[in-house]
Amino acid sequence: MAGNSFGKLFNLTTFGESHGTALGGIIDGCPSGLTLDIEAIQKELNRRKPGQSEIVTQRKEPDTVQFLSGIFEGKTTGTSIGFIIENANQKSKDYSHIKDVYRPSHADYTYDQKYGIRDYRGGGRSSARETACRVVAGAIAKQLLKDVKIHAFVSSVGDIFLEKPYQELDFNLIESNIVRCPDEAVAERMINRIKEIRKEGDTIGGTVTCVIQNVPAGLGEPVFDKLHAELGKAMLSINAVKGFEYGSGFCGAKMKGSEHNDIFNADGSTKTNLSGGVQGGISNGMDIYFRVAFKPVATIMQNQETIDSEGHVVEMHGKGRHDPCVVPRAVPIVEAMAALVIADYLLQNKVTKL
Residue 186 is given by DSSP the state: H
Among positions 51, 62, 281, 320, the unique one binding a copy of itself when judged by CB under 8 A: 281
Instruction: Please give the order of strands across the beta sheet that includes 81-86.
Output: 5-6, 11-15, 22-28, 81-86, 65-67
Taking the least distance from each CB to a copy of itself, the nearer of 281 and 320 is: 281
Contact with a copy of itself (CB under 8 A): which of 156, 169, 189, 342? 156
Stretch that binds a copy of itself, among 3-11, 49-57, 162-170, 173-181 (CB under 8 A): 3-11
Q: Please, what is the minimum distance in Å from the beta carbon of residue 269 to a copy of itself?
A: 10
Residue at 288: amino acid letter: I
312 binds a copy of itself (CB under 8 A): yes
- CB contact at 8 A, 278 and 211: no
125 CB burial (10 A radius; 0-12, 13-18, 19+) = buried
Does residue 113 interact with a copy of itself by CB under 8 A? yes
Exactly one of 47, 49, 118, 180 binds a copy of itself (CB under 8 A); that residue is 118
Q: Residues with Cβ < 8 Å from 191, sequence gap 6 or more?
A: 55, 177, 178, 179
Q: Are 78 and 32 in contact (CB under 8 A)?
A: yes
91 makes contact with a copy of itself (CB under 8 A): no
CA–CA distances in Å: residue 288 to residues 15, 89, 161, 263, 281: 30, 38, 20, 17, 12
Which region among 51-59, 180-188, 328-336, 346-354 touches a copy of itself (by CB under 8 A)?
Answer: 346-354
**In whole angstroms, what is the distance from residue 66 CA to residue 68 CA?**
6
**Torsion 156-140-172-197 (CA) sign:** positive
Nearer to a copy of itself, 182 or 294 (CB): 294
Please indicate if the annotation marks 189 as binding a ligand. Answer: no
Site residues for a copy of itself, 195-234, by CB under 8 A, read 197, 200, 202-207, 217-226, 228-230, 232-234
Residues 121, 123, 124, 129, Cα dihedral to 10°: -120
The CA distance from 279 to 119, in Å, is: 43
Does residue 328 bind a copy of itself (CB under 8 A)?
Answer: no
One of 5, 42, 53, 192 touching a copy of itself (CB under 8 A): 5
Cβ neighbour number for residue 265 with a 10 Å cutoff: 9
Q: How far is CA 64 from the centre of its chain?
A: 19
Residues 119-148 that bind a copy of itself (CB under 8 A): 119, 124-126, 130, 144
Q: Is 93 in the site for a copy of itself (CB under 8 A)?
A: no
Nearer to a copy of itself, 176 or 352 (CB): 352
Report the SS3 class of residue 106: coil
Among 186, 275, 333, 334, binds a copy of itself (CB under 8 A): 275
Residue 311 near a copy of itself by CB under 8 A: yes
Task: Please pick, from the candidates 63, 141, 279, 333, the single residue that binds a copy of itself as defined by CB under 8 A.
Answer: 279
Binding residues for a copy of itself, rule CB under 8 A, total 153
Q: Is 53 annotated as a binding residue?
A: no
Binding-site member from 60, 163, 264, 317 for a copy of itself (CB under 8 A): 264
Q: Could you list the residues known to form a binding site for FMN, using ranges.
A: 125-127, 239-240, 280, 295-299, 321
